[in-house]
Structure formats: structure tokens, C-alpha cells
Amino acid sequence: MHTHLDIGPFLGCLLCALVLLASSSASAETYPPPPAPTDSSRWGEHIQRTMALLATSTPPRRNKVRVLFYGQSITEQEWTKLVADDLRRRFPEADLDIQNRALGGFSSQVLVKTAEQDLYPFYPDLLIFHVYGDHRRYEDSLARTRQRTAAEVVLMTDHWGADTDKSGQLVDSKWGEFMDECLHKVAAKYGCEVVEVKQPWAEYLTANHLKAQALLKDGIHLNDHGNYLMAELA
């Protein structure tokens, strides 16, 4: 029987050996934490190698672990720094090389090309990926990553933008629903981990009586509160 590492709730299924962030450097303000997940039984099943490298690092044997954040403007934001800083703090004996090569405004149609310089040569152990755009180019990026690297891949679903909050109810667009379905299909096809952001984000808004805009600085980009929540869920 294959035995998974013992994993916990920080960052959802991203780096599941971690616990919730004790504090957020994005703001001195304290935000309500998201509710505990109801089922974590399958967390981390597609990032076992990365977790093993982190967990087995020791002072005389500092395992090299390359982590790459890739996507567009959402992935450029502060939540990725919170994740990176916390990883370094929790795994000081690992030789962590964490880079963010996200490109604001670059959709999947463009990132599939820029990956030639940004993604494949870096050869990450763990790729954390979120992008908007053409679903076909989204899958192309994953297919090429599988062909040209040995990276374990984490795909993040979308958060809720301001335009989805209508009359006090969160209503996803048909395109949003379509892309969410596509993401889960390609994740299954290529053996990727999925970080579920959309549903717990909605539950967080409801539980705390917040509008979608309360976590945003414009229609889609995250404010400090949004960065805190993304780091907790991602």
C-alpha cells in the first residue's frame, strides 16, 4: 500500500504539511480565519515528492527544492510572498529557491510562449499555477510542463471578482463555470493537485457577511484582506 506523508491544513492542498499562518505580514489588522476544511483526506497526493524533500532536509543534507509561482497579475500579488516567507521559516534546513515569474496581463495564450524562457529552464520541483485565458492554451502549458520538466503541479481555481456579486448573491459567469470544469479535467488528466479557492472563498464571504468587493482593491485584484485569505486557502 502506498503511504502518503502526514499532512495538515496550511495552504489547502498546496503544501499540506503546514498549519495556518499565525499572522499576515500584509497588514497589521487581524482578519477572521477561514473555516476548517471538512475533508483533507486527499490533500497532497500529487505533491508527495516535494513534501518529502522538505520534510527530510537536515543541516548536513539540505535538499534543493525549487518552487515557481507562474501566472499573471493575481499571482504577482502579496499572498505569494506570504507563502514563500512561511515556507522558509518552517523549513529552514531545506535549500529553497522560490521564484515568482508571473507576468501581469499575460493570458494563457501568451504564457504558453513565455514559459520557454521563464518556466522550463528553471526546472521547478513544484509549479504553482493560475492564469486566465484560452482553455486550450492552458492545457498546452500543462502538457509541455509534463513533457519538459519533472515538476509537480498545483492548479488554483479562481476567487470571486466584484462583478460576480449581484444583488447580494454570488453568481458565476458561464465562462467561469466552464473554465472551472476545464481546470478539474486537465488536473485529472495530468495528475495535478487542485487548490479549491472558489467555494471556500464564497463560504468565507457568507460567514463574515462580506461583499466580494471587501477583499478586492478593484474589480478583481486582491487587497490586504484578500491576500491574507488567498494565502490561507492556496
pLDDT, one tens digit per residue, over 156-208 is: 999 999 877 666 678 888 888 999 999 999 999 999 999 999 999 999 999 99
At 39, the pLDDT band (50, 70, 90 cuts) reads: confident
Q: Closest Cα to residue 227, out of 70, 87, 29?
A: 29
What confidence score (pLDDT) does residue 40 get? 77
Q: Would the pLDDT of 19 be above 50?
A: no
pLDDT given at position 167: 63
Q: Which fold has domain 65-233?
A: Rossmann fold (3.40.50)
**SS3 (DSSP) at 181:** helix
What is the rounded CA–CA span in Å between residue 40 and residue 14?
A: 12
Alpha helices in 43-173 (DSSP H): 48-55, 78-90, 108-118, 135-148
How much is the pLDDT for 168? 64
Q: What is the pLDDT of residue 195?
A: 94
Q: What is the DSSP letter of 141?
A: H
Between residues 13 and 60, which one has the greater pLDDT? 60
| Residue range 124-134: mean pLDDT, rounded | 96
pLDDT at position 232 is: 93
Using CA atoms, how far apart are residues 158 and 176, in angstroms rounded to an integer? 8
